[in-house]
A and B are shown apart, each in its own frame.
Chain A
């Protein structure tokens, strides 16, 4: 298991449900995090994002004012804020295929369905810290590369033009620290 120094990471938890915020905060503190900030809706979340400059945003989907999906779209605006590349983990009760695809297409980095578990949250955090994906910018999308695996059996049309970028190789820190030097 990769060891993460959670006390070097700053978290922002955005959820309109105070119970859920308390649970996520408890889990993060249990992992060893110290800097955990909270916001109770999308608008307050965006303000806190700008103010606290978190390393990782953990957001709910269904929230008042604007929801987690809209918040993600606002953060993923190149040039519009200090860190459009921030890791965003969507923690939600929605788990239908259509919802997961929408979250992915908005630029969410990881998706975690409720009920929340310490293991599930820990794995998502390790993934965004130790195995970051490059970003892709097209006319209609800006966010983490949505291709997580290289499917050698894929026979459909190639949707990306320009050849070389079929599978974007990014050395994973997780592998680097597993392998002997």
Chain B
């Protein structure tokens, strides 16, 4: 596909340039009002709802992927590639949990991500703690239909997070910038 040429107005200042590129997206801003009842966000939410019958199967495959990554790490060691694979699997579950209808899975996955990301020496990551996280994530998914599932998930995750934070505080005791980062809340507003 042949790209069209970029044009831009450039103003030079003491140590920087300010560039106002041609706004090629202007073509998409419509001056026409929305038709009565036309709501693109509602349309997209409805389209996503149509897809939701597949979410449980998708989460099932994500849990399988997490378990497979955990087994690889347990048997061949906490190498760079194994750690990355487990981190990505946990990270994806954290991001998808709410959308797929299993929001209580996100916190346990997040705790595992923190453990993997912030332990300075990967060989010191306790495999038992990794196993407990993976088992917790899978159990929360498996038992989600229970009436007390969310409360059980909260208690389980809270304990995992406490143990993880204690371990990370010890492992990073000489790294104040990491300790500060671990305690910092997210700065993002709600979506």
Contact = CB atoms under 8 A, between A and B. Distances in A.
B74 interface: no
A43 interface: no
Interface in B8-41: 8, 11, 13-21, 23-34, 40-41
Contacts of B139: none
A9 interface: yes
Interface in B162-189: 181, 184, 186-188
A2 B191 CA distance: 18
Interface of B: 1-3, 6, 8, 11, 13-21, 23-34, 40-48, 50-51, 58, 62, 87-88, 91-92, 94-99, 103, 106, 113, 181, 184, 186-188, 191
Interface string A142-158: 00010000000000000
Contact of A116 (B1, B3, B15, B99): B99
Interface residues of A, number: 72
B29 A130 contact: yes
B29 A62 contact: no
B44 A122 contact: yes
Given A3-B30, A53-B1, A136-B18, A160 B25 contact: no
Contact of B95 (A1, A92, A129, A177): A92
Interface of A: 1-6, 8-9, 16-17, 19-20, 22-23, 26-32, 51-53, 55-56, 62, 82-85, 87, 92-93, 95-98, 100, 111-122, 128-130, 132, 134-139, 145, 160-165, 168, 170, 173, 177
Nearest to B5: A82
Contacts of A135: 8, 18-21
A20 B92 contact: yes
Contacts of B20: 134-135, 170
Contacts of B25: 9, 55-56, 87, 128-129, 132
B129 to A, nearest CB: 21
Given A83-B6, A96-B186, A137 B95 contact: no
Contacts of A6: 28, 40
Given A53-B3, A97-B184, A120 B191 contact: yes
Contact of A118 (B29, B33, B48): B48
Given A113-B186, A113-B188, A62 B91 contact: yes
A115 B40 contact: no
A77 B50 CA distance: 40
Contacts of A116: 95, 99, 191
Contacts of B58: 19
A30 B19 contact: no
B29 A30 contact: no
